[in-house]
Chains A and B, each alone.
Chain A
């Protein structure tokens, strides 16, 4: 099993659909993240879950709804999206500690390419 797996790899949905992206990590990490990558833009942090609790959501629109049922799984529920939400959505995980040696190194999945029609 690869470290961080995302499904589906590709998703096409209409603006009125409801769909979900799934992420699973097999690294024993305690933090998981959703990032959005749009063309010609930096990777944008959307959500952070540490120890299954959301710690940051960066003012993401409510049409994106994350869910973290346990430390190994992360979902991104999508509803009434807009065409400008079309992007590559990357999941990542890391091992967060309280020590100063914590570096924030992330392990990424391959991404879910979302197209909103």
Chain B
């Protein structure tokens, strides 16, 4: 059973508009959430994170929102740029990360010129 779900395999957004990537989780023990970005033939790189004690974290063009009651988080990218085209993985950890990260399947974001 998937504990971290990204239900959209792909998303196409026009350059300059907002990209919204969604992630749902089922394990209420998760207390830290991360987004990773992955280009082809490269390993995932850390993008942004949020602790369960917060509901929003912003870093430049990237903002992550956490809705604990709905067990839902989202990543907003605004404005979207061509270099943002990549696969985005949502990940979660429990107990301070001692058990490693649990990843979603990823969403392939395509930024159209």
Chain A interface (Cβ within 8 Å of chain B)? 4, 33, 35, 40-43, 45, 48, 50, 55-56, 90, 92, 94, 96, 99-111
B: number of interface residues (CB 8 Å): 28
- Chain B 90-110 interface residues, beta-carbon cutoff 8 Å to A: 91, 93, 96-106
Docked-complex contact A40 and B105, CB < 8 angstroms: yes
Docked-complex contact B43 and A111, CB < 8 angstroms: yes
- Point out the residue from A42, A56, A108 that lies within 8 Å of B100, measured CB to CB: A56
Of all chain B residues, the one with the shortest Cβ separation from A58 is: B100
Of all chain A residues, the one with the shortest Cβ separation from B41 is: A110
List residues of chain A with CB within 8 A of the CB of B45: 108
Give the CA-CA distance A110 to B106 in the complex, in Å.
Answer: 17
Docked-complex contact A108 and B43, CB < 8 angstroms: yes
A103-B43 CB under 8 A given contacts A42-B103, A42-B104: no
- Point out the residue from B4, B44, B101 that lies within 8 Å of A104, measured CB to CB: B101
Interface of A is mostly: loop
Docked-complex contact B103 and A43, CB < 8 angstroms: yes
Docked-complex contact A106 and B96, CB < 8 angstroms: no
Docked-complex contact A94 and B104, CB < 8 angstroms: no
- Point out the residue from B44, B98, B99 that lies within 8 Å of A108, measured CB to CB: B44
- Chain B 77-101 interface residues, beta-carbon cutoff 8 Å to A: 89, 91, 93, 96-101
Given contacts A35-B103, A42-B104, 5 further A-B contacts (CB under 8 A): A4-B43, A42-B4, A48-B100, A94-B97, A103-B34
User: Which of A45, A94, A106 has its CB near the most chain B CB atoms (within 10 A)?
Assistant: A106
* 10 contacting pairs across A/B (C-beta < 8 A): A35-B103, A41-B105, A42-B2, A102-B97, A102-B98, A103-B93, A105-B97, A106-B101, A110-B41, A111-B41
A102-B96 CB under 8 A given contacts A40-B105, A110-B42, A111-B43: yes
Docked-complex contact A33 and B100, CB < 8 angstroms: yes
* Distance of A8 from chain B, by nearest CB (Å): 13
